[in-house]
Amino acid sequence: MTVFEPLDRVSVASHVIAQIEAAMRRGDLRRGDRLPTEIELAEQFQVSRTSIREALKVLEILGLLDVKRGAGTFIATAPRMPTLDPLLFLLLLEDGSRDDLVEVRFMVEVGFTQLAQARMELETIERLEENVRELEVAVAADQVTAEHDLSFHQIILEATRNPFVIQIGRTVLELFRESIGQGVRTFPQRAIDHHKAIVRALRDGTKTEVEQVIRDSYEFWKELG
């Protein structure tokens, strides 16, 4: 059965996303359903596989799709995010490069970390230190995931006590979930060292030192490509 309609060339990825969401609302696609292959979707939409892949990636990051290697792409049975994040949609659909996104993350992370430092309490430092210990345990057990790294930054975000900063920070970090997970699994000790350095800077350093330790971390990960 053909569920989707051919598209024109304007905002192809966004139209693909809109049609998939509409199919879910109509009940044509339900939780756990398997989507057609990229080739089949490209034929139904009459667009390139690249456009299909881009749209599916957006929906996967938003938690609406589960991609299972060797099995296919499925409508998520338990979406990771309870609501769609419009800012995340906008960022993912922009034509900027990966380097552009990295610049955004660096700018946002420096900003929220410095703001957290100005409002830092002893309890927050203790939570960060405990988080680092949990990361070390996970690394030793070879069970480290992106969540171990993201939770560290989440503690810092919460310390800003600014709901707008927290939401923006979460959105930007979510864009890097996959690469963060890959980085912490590939170079776990480097991730531990960077987190310890950030804690020291927050506890004992200046705003400039906080920026520098984050910059050092970014330079390392950028060199890895």
Query: Residue 197 domain-assigned?
Result: yes
Please check the confidence at residue 27 and state whether its pLDDT lies above 50.
Answer: yes
Rounded CA-CA distance 86/159 in Å is: 24
pLDDT at position 223 is 66
Please check the confidence at residue 149 and state whether its pLDDT lies above 90.
Answer: yes
Query: Residue 66 domain-assigned?
Result: yes
pTM (global) more than 0.85 = no
pLDDT at position 85 is 64
Q: Which domain, by its residues, includes 152?
A: 96-223
Q: What is the CATH number of the domain that holds 112?
A: 1.20.120.530
Query: Residue 80 domain-assigned?
Result: no
Q: How many domains does the chain have?
A: 2
Model confidence band, residue 82 (pLDDT cutoffs 50, 70, 90): very low
Boundary-marking domain end, from 42, 75, 108: 75
Q: Counting Cβ atoms within 10 Å, is residue 99 exposed (0-12), middle (13-18) or buried (19+)?
A: exposed
Same domain for 153 and 105, yes or no, is yes
Same domain for 206 and 110, yes or no, is yes
Q: What is the CATH number of the domain that holds 71?
A: 1.10.10.10
pLDDT tens digits along 203-220: 999 999 999 999 998 887
Residue 126 in contact with residue 202, Cβ under 8 Å?
Answer: no
Percent of the chain as helix, strand, coil, to the nearest 5: 70, 5, 25
